[in-house]
Amino acid sequence: MSDRLRIALQKKGRLADDSFALLKACGLRFSVRGGSLLVRVKNMPIDLLLVRDDDIASFVSNDAADIGIVGENVLVEEQLTSALDAQIAMKLGFSRCRLCLASPERGSVQSAADLSGTRIATTYPGVTGRFLKERGISAKLVEMKGAVELAPSIGVAESICDLVSTGATLEANGLMAFETILESEAVLIRSARDMSPEKADLFDKLMRRVEGVIKSTD
């Protein structure tokens, strides 16, 4: 890879704006307008790789980027379901949400104790499966790519395990959260591999700035 520190970021979505704002507050000068996937930081030897959030941890793990910003929920899920060589360098405090088990208000599942022998729809089979294993619960995971909140009403599952922030989506679908299985926020990740001395210096400098910005906005 090049000598420039490469940071993988979400191009568009719930992580993107706060990630850009954090790096700008750290003094990085760049413009993400236009469709470019690789954006050059004007005043430092840093490039930004703008991608889907689902690719960030694997890019960091596979040396396509040195560091990245991703939801802890996505990182933990990928750590559990694929061999990932990426670790949390710092928690960032934005894009907070909870991965929750939820079910219809008057359905057969009202708590974790009712889950045995039922079906749970989720896009997070790794984290949900870990929870079931820890609790010794035997339930079937129904993997979905999206619209998980519809699963109980269409008869695909008795409950769901999905991300919640305000709770409005659950409420709109007549669902109630009965258990939080993971608290999540945006995290800065890096690979476990050694960086060149130049990159390591730049990374340390950036980390100190990120820390300063996070402290000043607490």
CA dihedral of residues 89, 5, 63, 2 (deg, nearest 10): -160
Q: CB nearer to Zn ion: give 73 or 103.
A: 73
- Minimum Å gap between C-beta 149 and ligand PRT is 6
- Minimum Å gap between C-beta 80 and ligand PRT is 15
Q: What is the Cα–Cα distance from 40 to 24, expressed in whole angstroms?
A: 13
Q: CB nearer to Zn ion: give 53 or 77.
A: 53
Q: Which stretch binds Zn ion (CB under 5 A): 46-54, 124-132, 164-172, 208-216?
A: 46-54
53 binds Zn ion (CB under 5 A): yes
Among ligand PRT, Zn ion, none, partner that 15 touches (CB below 5 to 8 angstroms by kind)? ligand PRT
Query: CA-CA distances (angstroms) from residue 74 to 23, 56, 149, 200?
Result: 21, 9, 18, 25
- Minimum Å gap between C-beta 74 and ligand PRT is 5
Among ligand PRT, Zn ion, none, partner that 142 touches (CB below 5 to 8 angstroms by kind)? none
Q: CB nearer to Zn ion: give 53 or 158.
A: 53
Q: Which two tokens stand for residue 184?
A: 């999540």
Q: CB nearer to Zn ion: give 23 or 51.
A: 51
- Minimum Å gap between C-beta 194 and ligand PRT is 28
- Minimum Å gap between C-beta 99 and Zn ion is 14
Buried-exposed string 174-202: b where 16+ CB fall within 10 A, e elsewhere = ebbbbbebbebebbbbbbeeebeeebeeb
93: three-class secondary structure by DSSP: coil
Q: What is the Cα–Cα distance from 148 to 123, expressed in whole angstroms?
A: 7
- Minimum Å gap between C-beta 174 and ligand PRT is 13
Neighbour-count burial of 133, counting CB atoms closer than 10 A to its CB (0-12 exposed, 13-18 middle, 19+ buried): exposed
Query: CA-CA distances (angstroms) from residue 194 to 67, 84, 94, 102?
Result: 12, 16, 28, 42
**Residues in the site for ligand PRT, rule: CB under 6 A?**
10, 13-15, 52-54, 71, 73-74, 95, 97, 162-169, 184
- Please count the other Cβ atoms lying within 10 Å of the Cβ belonging to residue 203: 18
- Site residues for Zn ion, window 56-115 (CB under 5 A)? none
- 50 forms beta bridges with 9
Q: Which of 21, 24, 36, 54 binds Zn ion (CB under 5 A)?
A: 54
47 binds Zn ion (CB under 5 A): no
Binding residues for Zn ion (CB under 5 A) = 53-54
